[in-house]
Amino acid sequence: MGELEGKVAVITGAASGIGRATARRFVEAGARVVIADIEDEPARQLAHDLGAPASFLHTDVGDEAQLEAAVAHAVATFGRLDVMHNNAGFSGVTGRIEEIPADGYDHTMSVLLRGVYLGIKHAARVMKPQRSGAIVSTASIAGISTGISAPHVYNVAKAGVIHLTRSVAVELGPAGIRVNCVCPGFIATPIFARSLGMPSQMAQQSVETVEPLLRDMQPIKRAGRPEDIAEAVLWLASDKASFVTGHALVVDGGATAGTKWEPSSERARMLKEAMNYQG
């Protein structure tokens, strides 16, 4: 029996990258999933590939009515909602602080933070009466450390996701609903490729497109893969994490710990002397 056997999930931004990998992993684990995305063709194809356990609904997370409809679609199609994965995202508006247009700020926050708030809001309305549920949102290590090179508004939005997660976890815990988020590091996805300035066609290719660029970004010398994050989301969504809530799970290959460690020549000399003394 899979970790999510018999459970129903809504995954936003499921047409590609982390969302796509999570949808596949959830189905493997026994779940039925609603693929909620604005990219209709790849989302429809994914639903077709996954078969009966999957259903697609066009969903713009910046539109409250559409997110509410995605939750309602899960209940109407599969009978309930057990897991909400607020994953939809993009790199958002970029530039120096004096150059960032206000409408770009508003649009970025609408997707990255407001969309998460709306997903939690409408999932909670369904989960509260059933006294159970797991909400997992995709944050980022950019929301933890200002040492991560990412756009200002993206950083702030992801920090907001982390804090919103903790705040709502306190409210919903007594109702049997767990609220967590996952903080990916440098993950080889189409969104990451586009943020590096790669053409959309190249960005849609396999992980190998951007993987070589990310191998030295963290102590574990490989790029993060969407499947790495999918496994973390699966665990947070499953009963194996039944005592975990209000948590921001970092999955970054050690990037937030530091990029390189080497002993200084003095430290190396002292270590050698100590070893000789002990010998």
Q: Compute the distance between CA of residue 12 and CA of residue 115 in angstroms, rounded to an integer.
A: 9
Of 31-40, 143-152, 175-184, 229-238, give the lowest mean pLDDT range.
Answer: 143-152
Residue 2 covered by a domain? no
At residue 276 the predicted structure's pLDDT band, cuts being 50, 70 and 90, is low
Contact assessment for residue 239 and residue 252, using Cβ atoms and an 8 Å cutoff:
no
Single-letter residue type at 243: F
Residue 3 covered by a domain? no
pLDDT above 70 coverage of the chain, percent: 85
* Stretch 120-144: mean pLDDT: 97
Average pLDDT, the chain: 89
* Stretch 201-224: mean pLDDT: 72
Residue 159 covered by a domain? yes
Of 172, 170, 165, nearest in space to 129 by CA: 172
At residue 216 the predicted structure's pLDDT band, cuts being 50, 70 and 90, is confident
Q: Residue 36 is inside which H or E element, if any?
A: strand 32-37
* Stretch 69-80: mean pLDDT: 98
Provide the pLDDT for residue 222.
87
Residue 167 has pLDDT above 70, yes or no: yes
Residue 250 covered by a domain? yes
In total, how many domains does the chain have? Answer: 1
Catalytic residues: 140, 154, 158
CA atoms within a 13 Å half-sphere pointing along the CA-CB vector of 63: 10
142-162 residue pLDDT tens: 999 876 768 899 999 999 999
Contact assessment for residue 70 and residue 27, using Cβ atoms and an 8 Å cutoff:
no
Residue 268 covered by a domain? yes
CA atoms within a 13 Å half-sphere pointing along the CA-CB vector of 241: 26
Residue 116 covered by a domain? yes
Residue 261 covered by a domain? yes
Q: Compute the distance between CA of residue 10 and CA of residue 41 in angstroms, rounded to an integer.
A: 18
Of 224, 194, 200, nearest in space to 18 by CA: 224
- List the CATH number of the domain containing 231: 3.40.50.720
Residue 240 covered by a domain? yes
Q: Is the dihedral of CA 233, 239, 240, 241 positive or negative?
A: positive
* Stretch 104-128: mean pLDDT: 98
Instruction: Supply the range of the domain harboring residue 185.
Output: 8-278
- Name the β-bridge partners of 100: none
pTM: 0.89
25-57 residue pLDDT tens: 999 999 999 999 999 999 999 999 999 999 999
